[in-house]
């Protein structure tokens, strides 16, 4: 699910927000953290960019953990591909706290 929601976040980063989400952003007075300068941060399917980053972080840690424990080579490779994909998506979000959590979680797995 982390990969699927991240693909939607990648869509938002690439093409912008769909009309219904842009309407919500334009008419919300109390949600200022979506804009950093003049750039609007992607939310994926969540209500904030921080939630999306944390979800990606946890999904990547779980994927790497399953990859380390998988007995079958193909399952191991599949889990590691998911983990790397989520890590790359986390880099695109630019969230330092979530990246730190991913690194710390990876160290705990080791």
Q: What is the pLDDT of residues 3-42, one digit of tens each?
A: 888 899 889 888 988 888 888 777 777 666 676 667 777 8
User: Is 72 part of a structural domain of the chain?
Assistant: yes
Q: The domain containing residue 102 runs over which residues?
A: 57-110
Q: Is-contact 40 49, C-beta < 8 A?
A: no
Tally of domains within the chain: 1
Residue 90 belongs to some domain of the structure: yes
Domain assignment present for 64: yes
Residue 28 lies in a domain: no
Res 30: pLDDT = 66
Is 44 part of any domain?
no
Separation between Cα atoms, residue 26 and residue 10, nearest integer Å: 21
Alpha helices in 41-109 (DSSP H): 49-69, 73-93, 96-109
| Alpha-carbon 67 to chain mean position | 19
pTM of the model: 0.83
Give a yes or no: residue 31 inside a domain.
no
Q: Is residue 21 part of a domain?
A: no
């Amino acid at each position: 699910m982390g990969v699927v929601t991240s693909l939607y976040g990648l869509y938002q980063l690439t093409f912008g927000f769909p009309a219904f989400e842009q309407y919500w952003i334009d008419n919300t007075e109390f949600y200022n953290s979506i804009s950093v300068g003049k750039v609007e941060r992607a939310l994926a399917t969540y209500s904030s960019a921080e939630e999306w980053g944390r979800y990606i972080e946890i999904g990547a840690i779980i994927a790497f953990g399953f990859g380390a424990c998988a007995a079958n080579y193909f399952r191991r490779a599949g889990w590691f591909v998911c983990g790397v994909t989520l890590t790359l998506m986390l880099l695109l979000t630019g969230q330092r706290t979530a990246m730190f959590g991913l690194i710390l979680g990876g160290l705990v797995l080791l």
